């Protein structure tokens, strides 16, 4: 039981610090391949995880793990973070699970966020996340 708990904590830290590392490194030649290798070979631990950028993200599939590790599109995430403090509102059309609304909400608590998603399954998940 203790070994299982330790393994669980190890994987949580592995996810967190991998996401932090990839975000700080930014895009470089081969970074997408490294992220793909990581997400296809790392153990898949399902649950809600705290992201280094300050919000929680659900991981239930390899795809959601890749989004977590790569900070969605890190270039776009960086641009939004750099402008978050001056923004008063944000409209996200096609929000999927709400990466950018969650990111901006974590960076600026005063911002008004409007997120739209037309896919019923993703819409339900988006409501839970935001």
What's the token pair of residue 24? Answer: 């700080």
2-6, 58-62, 119-123: range with highest mean pLDDT = 58-62
Q: Nearest to residue 51, comparing CAs of 74, 90, 19, 23? A: 19
The highest-level CATH class for domain 76-129 is: alpha beta
- Per residue in 14-35, pLDDT tens? 999 999 999 999 888 888 899 9
SS3 90: strand
- Per residue in 94-125, pLDDT tens? 999 899 999 999 999 999 999 999 998 888 88
- Per residue in 80-92, pLDDT tens? 999 999 999 999 9
Domain residue limits, the chain: 2-71, 76-129
Among residues of the chain, what percentage have pLDDT more than 90? 76
Question: Is the entire prediction scored with pTM above 0.75?
Answer: yes
pLDDT of amino acid 121: 87
């Amino acid at each position: 039981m203790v070994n299982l708990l330790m393994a669980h904590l190890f994987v949580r830290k592995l996810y967190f610090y991998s996401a932090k590392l990839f975000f700080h490194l930014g895009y470089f030649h081969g970074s997408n391949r490294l992220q793909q290798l990581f997400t296809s070979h790392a153990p898949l631990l399902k649950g809600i995880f705290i992201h280094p950028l300050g919000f929680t993200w659900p991981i239930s599939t390899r795809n959601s793990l890749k989004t977590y590790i790569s900070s969605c599109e890190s270039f776009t995430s960086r641009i939004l973070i750099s402008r978050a403090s001056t923004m008063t509102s944000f409209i996200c059309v096609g929000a999927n699970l709400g990466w950018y609304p969650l990111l901006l909400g974590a960076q600026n608590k005063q911002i008004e966020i409007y997120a739209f998603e037309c896919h019923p399954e993703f819409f339900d998940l988006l409501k839970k996340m935001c």
